[in-house]
Amino acid sequence: MQIKRSYLIAGGVFALVVAFFVINTIIKALTPKEKPVAATQATEPLVKVALIAEVLRPSVIAVRGRTEANRTVVVRAETAGPVVATPAREGSFVRKGQILCRLSVDARQATLDQARAALKSRQLQREASARLAEQGYRSQTQVLQDQANLDAAQASVRQAEVLMEQVNVRAPFSGVFDRRDAEAGTYLTPGGACGTMIELDPLVIIADVSEAEVGALRIGETVSATLVSGDVINGRVRSVARDADPATRTYRVEIEARNTALRARSGLSADVKVSTGAGPALLVPAATLVLDSAGRQGVRYVTAADRVGFAAVTVLDETPEGIWISGLRGPVRVIIVGQSYVSEGQKVRVATR
């Protein structure tokens, strides 16, 4: 049977079409699927990281404080009388023993002169009694009585001298005569105030530390305090309260610092940093700190599998170079660009530059 030529042509075209589809399918199966991979990479966010090493750094507790005088004393008169002179200038530095107020002598000088004259008489009587006793004209009992009279006269002189000295109201220690309460002409009774003395060297810094941090403090630990004036003074912890303030639940800490030039005043606010040993820490840029979904403060980093991790951290200190944190062990690739646009566990691409 002879086949028509049109059928042969149609069969040939059909065979070519089938062969084309078969060959195309085989080629697609053998060709690597690069386009889906590229598409996947395009969906992964690009971040920039910094490899930050862990270092051993002194631990610091930062609190707010205030300066106080080491001692504040109201200097009072021991005797009565009108004030006749105020040699110390208000607000000036005075040495221990310097006169702050001088009272009128009144009859005290006469009392002292009388006591000294009586003492001289008793001395002569005692000497004469001793000579007579040696010659046998005076008994030993009379000699002892004259000696007792001499001792009494000496005591009277010392008493008169003390009363005489009490007209001078003196500084009990070296410090600043901060306020004068009595002017010339003021009559002071015993216990009347001449003025107020304050001791500013050493200077005391008072800080209130929370119950969570007070356990790390020890007597003698070093302290650095930046005053509101910008001056920085150094000192040591001298006492830590054992009983908390019932209103604030904080503990009073006293820090003693040298203030030889008396530049720091009492009552200044201070940023206090107390060193409490050393521990591992990382220095990160301030912008790396973020909050997770639970509201915890921390940093995001990239793991070895190029996935995002999150670590809650504790801020130890803030410096111009960055923020010192604890709670993350290094070295670690901390995300410094793009940390706010990725989430924990997400696959990311790390920028090479």
pTM comes to 0.62
pLDDT score of 213:
84
Find out whether 97 and 171 touch, Cβ atoms under 8 Å: yes
Q: Name the phi and psi angles at 262, rounded to 5.
A: 60, 30
Helix crossing, 140-165 with 108-135: angle to 10°?
Answer: 160
Instruction: Report how far residue 263's alpha carbon sits from residue 175's, in angstroms, rounded to the nearest whole number.
Output: 13
Rounded Cα–Cα distance for residues 210 and 243 (Å): 12
Q: What is the predicted pLDDT for the residue at 14?
A: 66
pLDDT digits (tens, 9 = 90+) for 6-30: 666 666 666 666 666 667 776 666 6
User: Hey, where are the domains in the chain?
Assistant: 46-53+285-350, 63-69+197-276, 81-195
Q: Residue 319: its pLDDT value, please? A: 85
Find the DSSP H helices in 192-317: none
Percentage above 70 pLDDT, the chain: 89
Give residue 12's pLDDT. Answer: 66
- Note whether 46-53+285-350 and 63-69+197-276 share their fold: no
Query: 32 preceded by cis ω (within 30°)?
Result: no
CATH superfamily membership of 63-69+197-276:
Efflux pump adaptor protein, beta barrel domain (2.40.30.170)
- Residue 68: per-residue pLDDT: 94
Q: What is the pLDDT of residues 268-316, one digit of tens each?
A: 999 998 888 778 899 999 999 999 888 899 999 999 999 999 999 988 8
CATH topology of domain 46-53+285-350: 2.40.420
Continuous segment of H or E residues that includes residue 113: helix 108-135
> Measured in whole angstroms, how far is the alpha carbon of residue 295 from the centre of its chain?
29
Query: How wide is the angle at C-alpha 283 spanned by C-alphas 280 and 289, nearest 5°?
Result: 110
Query: Quick one: pLDDT at residue 17?
Result: 65
Q: Do residues 349 and 303 lie in contact, with contact meaning Cβ atoms separated by under 8 Å?
A: no
Does the pLDDT of residue 40 top 60, yes or no?
A: no
Residue-wise pLDDT for 100-147, tens only, equals 999 999 888 888 889 899 999 889 988 888 888 888 888 888 888 888
Mean pLDDT of the chain: 87
Per-residue model confidence as pLDDT tens digits over 146-170 = 889 889 989 999 998 988 899 999 9
